[in-house]
Amino acid sequence: MKTKISMIVLVVMTLILSACGTGVAAAGSQPIETAAQPQVQEAEVESQAVLLFGIGMHIEPLGETAQGFPSGKGDYHQAPLFERHGQDILAVADMVEAHDGRMTIQAQSPFTSAAIESGNSILADLAVRGHEIALHFHEDAHLGKNSSARSVQEWCDAMKQEMMLITQASGVTDIRYWSGGNLYPRLFEAAACAGLDVNSDWKNPQTQTTDLALVGLHPWRPSGGTDGTDFSLFVQPDPNGAVVFLPEGQYDKNNFGSMRRSDAAGGDEAYFEYLKQSLYASLEAAEAGKVNVFHFTIHPGEFRGDPQNPFAVIEKFLTEVVDPLVASGQVQWATFPQMADAYAAWEAAHPGAEPR
């Protein structure tokens, strides 16, 4: 009986150790019987998969951008719209903070330029409170209608200009993450030139859909971008790639990035129900010994719901779904650069390993 237990322990330990790729020598160097109990407990802790969880906030380009292109409906240079969306962002930030989370807030002009002009400190305040300040880059709003025909240098310059405005508005100099520019095949070259190294939220702006080849849990460094049709370089990991791409999680519908706007799909409640299912599916698929990520996006003014109880659908999701998983250790809050740093640490510890 004792031998049988020892065998099971050995098998478990070998599985764990080979999964981690470390410490094989330690197994043979200790008397199994005496060391078995604490080692198995330790192994169980190590073998629990953790899902890094985050929320992104996209601030859209409403009004004339810094590059002089008109964009969107409404104008952030008009104080009432800027104030209303600013209040929405702060309300959601308060809510997330109350659940011990921090968002990755992605801004662009004219929100940034309007903040600078009016002396509004919202982005600086959010940065001080620990939220990650990042770039949301609508290519047509900053490069014009034919943005895909523009050079890498022109893209790099426009991204840098947008990042400079974010720095001016927020005080943040280390801007690492961006979303947008998704149909430019040389996007990653342009972003690396601008000093950015973390990306996610790939969605075709024309169809509002995400190719399911980009869905999943494990980050990787893409070999190149896409024109929206050919994803072969995007899905091919390049260990020397300049940019870490964070997939959004285990989603099974290609319109998960836009379905929240569809009342036909059941509105906010149905969207958060789908988020819950996708989060649970992601937990199910999460792997110990790998970096697993899940995140979703909120826009200012979205999910307002009942004016007496605005954003209740977000509060409910955080309280009922996220908090218990954080308490049990299965989910950990992370900003997007924190997810990328976790992946870089995993890469360093597993040279040559397949990321996906």
Cβ closer to Zn ion: 86 or 180?
180
**Residue 314 token pair:** 């977000």
Write the secondary structure of 41-62 as one string of H (helix), E (strand) and C (coil): HHHHHHCCCCEEEEEEEECCCC
**What share of residues in the chain are helix, strand, coil (percent, to 5)?**
50, 10, 40
DSSP 276: H
Cβ closer to Zn ion: 58 or 218?
58
**Residue 32 token pair:** 């199994």
**Residue 277 token pair:** 């299912």
At residue 31, the 3 state secondary structure works out as coil
**Residue 353 token pair:** 């390993």
At residue 153, the 3 state secondary structure works out as helix
Q: How far is the CB of 212 from Zn ion (least distance, A)?
A: 21
Q: How far is the CB of 246 from Zn ion (least distance, A)?
A: 17
Q: Give 268-272 contacts, CB < 8 A, sequence gap 24+.
A: 268/303, 268/305, 268/313, 269/313, 272/313, 272/314, 272/316, 272/317
Nearest-CB residue for Zn ion: 58
Q: How many positions of this chain bind Zn ion (CB under 5 A)? A: 2
Cβ closer to Zn ion: 103 or 217?
103
Q: How far is the CB of 6 from Zn ion (least distance, A)?
A: 58
Cβ closer to Zn ion: 175 or 322?
175
Q: How far is the CB of 58 from Zn ion (least distance, A)?
A: 5
The maximal CA–CA distance of the chain, rounded, in angstroms, is: 78
Q: What string marks each residue from 2 to 41 as x (binds Zn ion by CB under 5 A) or -?
A: ----------------------------------------
Single out the residue of 13, 53, 55, 58 in contact with Zn ion (rule: CB under 5 A). 58
Cβ closer to Zn ion: 290 or 299?
299
Cβ closer to Zn ion: 51 or 57?
57
Q: What string marks each residue from 60 to 79 as x (binds Zn ion by CB under 5 A) or -?
A: x-------------------
The window from 58-66, 153-161, 192-200, 229-237 that contacts Zn ion (CB under 5 A) reads 58-66
Cβ closer to Zn ion: 50 or 194?
194
Contact criterion met (CB below 8 Å) for 55 and 334: no
Cβ closer to Zn ion: 131 or 142?
142
Q: From CA 104, how far away is CA 81, in angstroms rounded?
A: 21
Answer yes or no whether residue 203 interacts with Zn ion by CB under 5 A.
no
Least Cα distance to 311 among 79, 61, 93, 122 occurs for 93
Q: At what angle do helices 79-98 and 111-118 cross, to 10 degrees?
A: 100
Q: How far is the CB of 62 from Zn ion (least distance, A)?
A: 10
Q: How far is the CB of 144 from Zn ion (least distance, A)?
A: 17
Q: From CA 266, how far away is CA 37, in angstroms rounded?
A: 51
Cβ closer to Zn ion: 177 or 343?
177
Beta bridge partners of 107: 135
Q: How far is the CB of 180 from Zn ion (least distance, A)?
A: 6
Contact criterion met (CB below 8 Å) for 103 and 93: yes
Residue 284's Cβ-count burial label (10 Å; 0-12, 13-18, 19+) is exposed
**Binding residues vs Zn ion (CB under 5 A):** 58, 60
